Each structure stands twice: as C-alpha cells, then as structure tokens.
Amino acid sequence: MSKRKILIVDDEMSVRQSLGEWFLEDGFEVETAEDGNVALQKMGHGPYNIVLVDLKMPGMDGIALQKRIREIDSRATVIILTAYASVDTAVEALKLGAFDYVTKPVDPDDLSNLVRNALRQQELSEENVRLKEKVSALNQASPIVGKSKKMQHVLEMISTVAETDSTVVIRGESGTGKELIARAIHAQSKRRFFPIVAVNAGSIPETLLESELFGHEKGAFTGAQYRRKGKIELAHGGTLFLDEIGDVTAKMQIDLLRVLESKRFTRLGGNQEITSDFRLVCATNKDLEGMVADGRFREDLYYRINVFSIQVPPLRERPEDVLPLATFFLEKYARAMGKPVPALTAVAEELLCRHRWPGNVRELENAIERALVIGKGPTIAPDDLPFREDQPDLARSARSLAALERVHIERVLRETDGNMTQAAKVLGIDRATLYNKIKRYGIRR
Amino acid sequence: MPGAIHVAYLKHYPPAWSGALESGVADVFPLEVRGTPLNIDLKPAYAPDRRQYHATLILASLLRHLPDKHTKIVGVTPVDLYIPVLTFVFGQAQLNGPGAVISTYRLRNEFYGLPPDDGLLLERAIKEAVHELGHAFGLVHCPSVSCVMHASSYVEDVDIKGESFCTNCMDTLEAGVETLGRYAV
C-alpha cells in the first residue's frame, strides 16, 4: 500500500511543525504550506488523501482555499482547523464539502478519530467505485452467445447451479468456452462481489502449481524472497476456477482433496493454518470416469468435485450458433481495431457453416480476428478466412475412394479458377487424365 | 558512551522506580541503557495560558545535552506536555532522530481521580518510553493493538497495548538498532 499523504495548511509555523511531526509518526507522508497560494502549488504534487486547512489565514482564507482545492482534486478530504469556534463558518465549510471542522487545540483522540474516519470514508468511496467498475465489467464480460437448444440448456444449468455453493465440473472439448461458463456461474452467484481466481493446472509444473495454489512463506525454497499468497487464499469469498483438473498429479490430487474437505491449508514453508472460503469450479476435456477406472484420478476427489456437471457442446453440434458467434466476434474485434463492422459474404457464411470447427469457438474467434486483420474491404470474403473448404466434412460425406477423388478434383479446380493445366499440375496427373476424370464424374467446370 | 540509550530525568525526577524503568527499556532494546538526572530549565517551555509545557521546546533543550551523536536520549518528566495544535501529548519524538521526551503527568492514576498505583505508572512509563524511542528509531504507528507502537490517545490505550514490538516493527527496528549498535563499546 502506498503511503497516505497529508497537506497541512496553516500560517502558524508551530502548528505546521507539530502537526507535521504528529502525522509523520502516524506513517503519513507530510507536506506543509504557510498560505493558500503555496497550498495550491503543492496540490500539484498530490494527490493528497487529506488536506488540513486553517480557517483564518492572511490572504486566501480557509473557505476560499477549500473551494479551489475541490476544483483541483475532488477526492481530497478537507478538514477545517480553526481557533475560532463559529457555527456559521462551520456550516459554510461543511456545505462546501469539508469532511469536518475542528477547533484548536484539538484533543489528540478527536484528531485521530477524525482522520481515521476520513480515511475510512475515502477507502469506502474508492472501493465503491472499484466495485461498480467490476460489476459493470462483469456485466459487459463476453456473453455466452448461443440460441441452439443445447446452449440454452447449458444456460439454464448455469442459472440453476449459480445460486448454490456446489462444486461444478465443466466438461467439454478444448475451445468450447469452459472458462466463460465458469465466469458466468461466478457472475450470477452470491460470491460475485469477490474475485474469481483462475488457475490452469495443465500448464503449470507440479512444483510450481503447489506454490501457485497454496502460496509460500519467505525462504520456503530458493528464490522465495517474499511471502506470497496462493490462489486459494486469494479466492477467499469468491470462486476458484481450476482448469484442466484432469491433468493434476496424484500428489496434488491428495492436497486438493484435503483443502476441499477442510477449506484449510498452510503456505509452503509455513506452519500457520489458513482458512479460505471459496467455491470450486473446475473444468476438463478429459474423461474423468475413465481416469478413475484406470486409477489415474482419485475416486474420492472425483466424487468431491463432481457434484454438478455441465457439458458444453462442441460447436459442430450446434451449427445454428456459428453465424451469431461470428457476428459477435466481428463486432468485438472491429470495435477493438477501430474499424467499421464488415459483413460476411454469402459464400463466406456458407463456408463458416460447413466447417467442422475442431478447435471449437476459439478457432472461430481466431478465424474472425484474422479475417479482420487481413481483410481490406467492407465485407469478409472466403479469401479472408483461413480455410477455403472443409476437408474433414468432405471426407465424411465422401464414403468411397471415387467420391473422395471427385470432391478433391472439384476443390482443386475451384482453387485454380478452372485452369486445367494448373489443376493437373497440382493433382500430379496430366491434362488428358484430368479431362477423363472430369467427364467420368460429371464435374461441371 | 556511544551506541547507547540515555534516560534523562527532568524536573524533580528521578522517581523511585527509575531503575525499573531503565531495566524495562533495556529489556526491549539490545543496547546499554543508562539513567541520569538532567538539570535543564523548563521555564522557557511553560505556557501560562495552558498551564502546560511545550514538548517541542523541551525536546530541543534535551538534544543540547546529547552526550554523543551515536546515542539516543529520552527525557522523562512529571510535567504536562503539549504541542500547539493538540490539547496534550503523552510524549514526543523526532522520527528517526536522536531524541524523545515523555510525560508521566497523565500516566498517573491520580490524574483520573484514582488511588496512586506506582506499579501501573511504571508499566505505562516503560510503554511510553519504548514507544517514543521506537519513533526515534524510525518506527511509525502500528495498526496492531498489541504492539507498543500502536497509537495511544488515552491512558486506556496505553494500558491495552503491550510492552514490546510486533514482528513487523521488530524487523524495522533491528536495522536501526544494528546501526547504533555498531558504535557500542
């Protein structure tokens, strides 16, 4: 936490000096000013948490100075000091936004309480702003786009489970948006005003994962120069999102089980037990049941986490969501790049709908982002997409070797704009053979 | 006596419990602690309108009697201390400086209409002397209520806090004491 700053404005040197020392002992960074003009210059060195202003000063008085201070920094808390107790001036100062008004000499306890309350109010108002921003960010977080029946079912499940405190396992192929689902659960839960802390267990080596999750004390291992809180501790009050739970090692499974049962743990190298109240949401693309059967995943941990399971369907199983998702990503990236939102040509739309999306929504998002980067015109054409045709789809529809050959020749002809010489070269056959095959398969050029 | 702490008794002091006060300070600071009566004139620091003594002025006089630049000095006085903007202070110190002063005036039970209790007075005086010396070693007020560096506006606050430093304050203090200790004989 950075040092709190205070500016003391009083024409009496003894007051500036004694108050300055008093606040230094209280851990403040102190600046003093002998009159209003010096104070206004010093406001430029701020921001100050508190400005103590003497009411009666030669030149600019405390009331006038307070007005100017509020124009420069409305967040600074102004406390008026005066040797003259006057209800009128007190009321005027308070009307102008002073936090409070004290008469010199001040009882040390009154001054301590006043400053403590002023700082508390400042913290609360800053926290209020932060929370509002957070809530607004949560509301604006990537929505789950999907009108398909399967996604509607997922959304219903999110609403159902969010209200509870149950552990959730989100299943689905890579790129289906499991983290988005976890964040949606958190955003709808009563824990939404606390953090959601994400850890990808699959991407962190076991030794680091332990420290990442549980934290460590200073000197716990070589390089541990400072005490560090772990993700479990940071998730206190909120949600811990553990991605790739199927990838954690046997030892870590035991440690995790212990924490989930007791919600207590110790930092690495420490002996103080720490309690963290968090809700666990985990995700995996692994077959946990198969892993339990093979003995690669602890059965007790499986039952502990598998309280509620949400299966996120792959994109190929909800083709009706492809175009709404594509439109969503077009708008998102166009806005980020400061470009007008381009439209998809009919052919590009057809291509997107026919693609099988093995990388799921992530692949679609990347394809749209790339199209916006390389696309020049007001529309996104097939050439802007990272694929022309969908091989896996063709492979599936073409069941015989002959059918596959026909589809392949059609594709090469399209790519070469019907140029027979080039197509024959790409296919590795001569022109005559190509003519014969076109005739045999009835391919229209 | 470089690298040491001097407890200087001002105006009608030392009290009967001076030895215990010095031992109490020595228990907390790993430096030699020596007590001496110091005859300095407090009159210039007296404010007749407030019937109190200006702590900053006393501190300035005290520093003129600092035996060595590598020592710290804490004055102990029975008179009531103030700084201009506050109604009273239990003590004052120079943050990271050589000196501090404490008053036992408001640490006495009699001030609050209670029967005298020298044991309690000694306990409070040790806490205040250690607190102000803590400032002289660069410590600021501590949020921990059990730490001797916790701010005290009332005598009840003094009674609640402990006589020693919390771990965090001790870490900061060690650096200051180590610097001073280098000059110890």
pLDDT along chain A (445 residues), means of 10: 83 88 88 92 86 88 87 86 73 82 83 87 84 62 80 92 93 92 90 88 83 86 79 91 92 91 88 90 93 93 93 93 92 86 87 89 92 84 74 55 82 82 87 87 74
pLDDT at residue A393 in the model: 52
| CA A200, A202, A205, A206 torsion-angle sign | positive
DSSP 3-state of A25: helix
pLDDT at residue A82 in the model: 82
DSSP for residue B66: -
Paired residues of A8 in beta bridges: A32, A52
User: B145: which 2 tokens?
Assistant: 């209520």
| Cα of A201 to nearest chain B Cα, Å | 34
Cβ contacts of B141 on chain A, cutoff 8 Å = 25-27
Best mutation target, A8, A11, A13, A18, to test chain B (most B CBs within 10 A): A18
pLDDT at residue A394 in the model: 52
pLDDT at residue A167 in the model: 94
CB contact under 8 A, B86 and A107: yes
Q: Which residue has the tokens 């699959």?
A: A202
CB proximity list for B48: less than 8 A, separation 6 or greater: none
| Cα of A214 to nearest chain B Cα, Å | 23
Q: Pick A21's closest partner by Cβ from B50, B87, B95.
A: B95
CATH of region A149-313, choose from 3.20.19.10, 3.40.50.300, 3.90.1010.10, 3.30.465.10: 3.40.50.300
CATH class of A5-128: alpha beta
Higher-pLDDT residue of A396, B95? B95
CB contact under 8 A, A108 and B94: no
Instruction: Taking residues B62-69, report their average pLDDT.
Output: 84
* Domain ranges for chain A: 5-128, 149-313, 319-352+365-384, 398-441
Backbone angles phi, psi at A71, to 5 degrees: -70, -35
DSSP for residue A321: G
Separation between Cα atoms, residue A30 and residue A34, nearest integer Å: 14
CB contact under 8 A, B87 and A105: yes
Q: What does the DSSP assignment read for A94-156? A: HHTT-SEEEESSBPHHHHHHHHHHHHHHHHHHHHHHHHHHHHHHHHHS------SHHHHHHHH
| Cα of B156 to nearest chain A Cα, Å | 12
CB proximity list for A76: less than 8 A, separation 6 or greater: A7, A43, A46, A47, A48, A49, A50, A51, A69, A70
Q: How many helices (H) and strands (E) does chain B have?
A: 5, 8
- Is the Cβ of A22 closer than 8 Å to some Cβ of chain B? yes
**Prior bond of B48 cis (ω within 30°):** no
A311-314 long-range contacts (CB < 8 A, ≥24 apart) are: A311/A154, A311/A171, A311/A172, A312/A154, A312/A170, A312/A171, A312/A172, A312/A173, A312/A176, A312/A177, A312/A178, A312/A181, A313/A148, A313/A150, A313/A151, A313/A154, A313/A172, A313/A176, A314/A172, A314/A173, A314/A176, A314/A357, A314/A360
pLDDT at residue A137 in the model: 63
Best mutation target, B86, B94, B106, B147, to test chain A (most A CBs within 10 A): B86
CB contact under 8 A, A105 and B85: yes
pLDDT at residue B1 in the model: 44
pLDDT at residue B27 in the model: 92
Output the pTM of the full model.
0.52
| CA A34, A35, A41, A43 torsion-angle sign | positive
Largest Cα separation within chain A, whole Å, is 109
- Judge whether A52 and A8 are in contact, CB under 8 Å: yes
A35: closest CA among A14, A17, A8?
A: A8
Paired residues of A266 in beta bridges: A273
Residue of A nearest to B155 (CA): A109
Q: Cα A247 to the chain's mean position, in Å?
A: 23
Query: How many structural domains comprise chain B?
Result: 1
CATH topology agreement for domains A149-313 and A398-441:
no
Q: How many helices (H) and strands (E) does chain A have?
A: 19, 16
Instruction: Taking residues B134-156, report their average pLDDT.
Output: 91
Q: Pick A108's closest partner by Cβ from B135, B140, B153.
A: B153
A409: closest CA among A435, A382, A390, A387?
A: A435
CB contact under 8 A, B140 and A27: yes
CB contact under 8 A, B86 and A108: yes
Cβ contacts of A25 on chain B, cutoff 8 Å = 93, 95, 135, 140-141, 151
Residue of A nearest to B134 (CA): A25
Paired residues of B99 in beta bridges: B73
CB atoms within 10 A of CB A49: 21
Cβ contacts of A27 on chain B, cutoff 8 Å = 140-141
Residues comprising chain A, all counted = 445
- Judge whether B25 and B130 are in contact, CB under 8 Å: yes
What does CATH list as the number for A398-441? 1.10.10.60
CATH of the domain at B127: 3.40.390.10
Separation between Cα atoms, residue B146 and residue B159, nearest integer Å: 10
Separation between Cα atoms, residue B30 and residue B33, nearest integer Å: 9
A280: closest CA among A264, A260, A300?
A: A260
Catalytic sites of B, residue numbers = 132
Instruction: Taking residues B157-178, report their average pLDDT.
Output: 87
CB contact under 8 A, B95 and A27: no
Q: What percent of chain B has pLDDT over 90?
A: 68
Q: State the burial class of residue B175 (Cβ atoms within 10 Å of its Cβ: 0-12, 13-18, 19+).
A: exposed
- Is the Cβ of A117 closer than 8 Å to some Cβ of chain B? no
Separation between Cα atoms, residue B89 and residue A213, nearest integer Å: 48
Instruction: Taking residues B36-52, report their average pLDDT.
Output: 92
Q: State the burial class of residue A376 (Cβ atoms within 10 Å of its Cβ: 0-12, 13-18, 19+).
A: exposed
CATH topology of domain A319-352+365-384: Helicase, Ruva Protein; domain 3 (1.10.8)
**Prior bond of B14 cis (ω within 30°):** yes
pLDDT at residue A410 in the model: 83
What's the domain range around B90?
Answer: 4-181
Best mutation target, A5, A11, A14, A21, to test chain B (most B CBs within 10 A): A21
